[in-house]
Amino acid sequence: MKRILLAAAAAMMLIHPANAQRADYEQMVATHAAANGVPVELVHRVIMRESRYNPRAVSRGNYGMMQIKLATARGLGYTGTAQGLLDPDTNLTYAVKYLAGAYRAAGGNHSRAVAYYAGGYYYAAKRQGLLPVQQVAAERDITLFDANAQEIPRRHRRHRH
């Protein structure tokens, strides 16, 4: 009887940290999903598909639980290293932001959003007019003027010869 109780206690100790960690992930997912207007279940679906909740997953230039590329995270404002994307909260910050764009481009369709997340959604978003004005302007070589700006940055000036 004593051995059974010890075995049960040992099993509980092994299970408890995993459950605590899972509860932390649940809270992080809920926070990031709400901040980006994405259904919680969609974020969980992508995490299961990409890494099965492994925050240390690295595969072909993709990092963390949601397997985001460093270049994609940088395009969304990330300034850290690739290793930094292995932090679950950091990974979710940028990957859920990217998923939100895929979700909007998919018109709220979860399966299409997952496909766009995995394969990119730039052209779908462009067709639907969902790209930021600054990005479209840069593609069309249009100069946007800011009334508060003192000078147009050199990289945005047109040179006429």
Which CA distances in Å does 150 have to 133, 145, 147, 155? 21, 10, 8, 15
The CATH fold of domain 2-130: Lysozyme (1.10.530)
Model pLDDT for residues 28-53, shown as the tens digit of each residue: 999 999 999 999 999 999 999 999 99
Tokens read off for 74: 């940088």
What whole-number distance in Å separates Cα of residue 45 and Cα of residue 41?
A: 6
Alpha carbon of 65 to those of 17, 104, 124, 157: distances in Å?
Answer: 18, 21, 25, 41
Domain ranges of the chain: 2-130
pLDDT tens, position by position, 134-143: 444 344 443 4
152 pLDDT higher than 70: no
Q: pLDDT by residue (tens digit) across 61-108?
A: 999 999 999 999 999 999 999 999 999 999 999 999 999 999 999 999
